[in-house]
Structure 1
Amino acid sequence: MSDTVKSWIEERRAIIHGAREAIRPAEAIDLGLIDLPRALDALNAVLELHHGERDEYGCWTCRFCSHIQQTKILHPCATVRAIEGAINGERG
């Protein structure tokens, strides 16, 4: 996972934490602050699956995609690029 994505996730966690302490529980539910931490955990879990590692030739590959497709898939893979693009506002 790139430092940009890690920073983005941690910033959102800090915002949620601050907002939860500043508002009543009912407002937290209305604002989605109850489910958002779980969504960030899910995003983090996907990115951890798709982490890069060096192969025997020194190339960065996606461990998960390479295992599933039984061939070398360069890192960042399509999954990581899509998530990073969405976070950076490059999609849609």
Structure 2
Amino acid sequence: MTDAVKSWIEERRTIHRDGWTGKWSWSLNNRDLATLRATGGHVDFDLIRDDVFRGSSEVLDEIIDAHNVTVPRALNALEQVLEVHRRAVDIFEPSEFCAACSTDQRTAGWPCATVQAIEGAINE
């Protein structure tokens, strides 16, 4: 995995970890106000603000799912893909080939198309 991608993943993990800790949840206080909760804190979330509808309580389900499930799984998946698509080692030295994409019959350059696509998405 390249240093830039490794740094990006670690930054996202730090941001995720340094926010509220633990699993997030929410409860509806009344028709217009819900409360987001997590270990160490809570915040009121107005479903309606300045007479503008901000979304139904289902929006909170999506926020909770993103924090509790999607972000951690996505970062883990990204890291696992990059562990497989790594620079091959040739007699104690890094080579210019991808270990996952290269075969006995064909070598794939480093960084491979998979790593380039990930780097491109991160650097957008």
Query: Retained in 2: the 8 A contact 1:55–1:61?
Result: no
CA RMSD of aligned residues (A): 2.4
Please tell me whether Structure 1 or Structure 2 has the larger radius of gyration of its CA atoms: 2
Unaligned 5+ runs, structure 1: none
Unaligned runs of 5+ in 2: 26-35, 39-60
Rounded to whole Å, the distance in 2 between the matches of 1:45 and 1:78 is 16
Choose between structure 1 and 2 for higher RCO, CA contacts under 8 A separated by at least 6 residues: 1
Q: Relative to total residues, which structure has the larger strand share, 1 or 2? A: 2
Q: Which residue pairs with 2:18 in the alignment?
A: 18
* Partner-residue secondary structure (3-state), 1:25: strand
Identity %: 47
Task: Report the structure, 1 or 2, having the larger helix content.
Answer: 1
Residue 6 of structure 2 is matched in structure 1 by 6
TM-score, normalization: structure 1? 0.79
Q: 1:62 to 1:38 in 2, by over 3 A?
A: same
**Secondary structure at 2:88's aligned position in 1?**
strand
TM-score (norm 2): 0.60
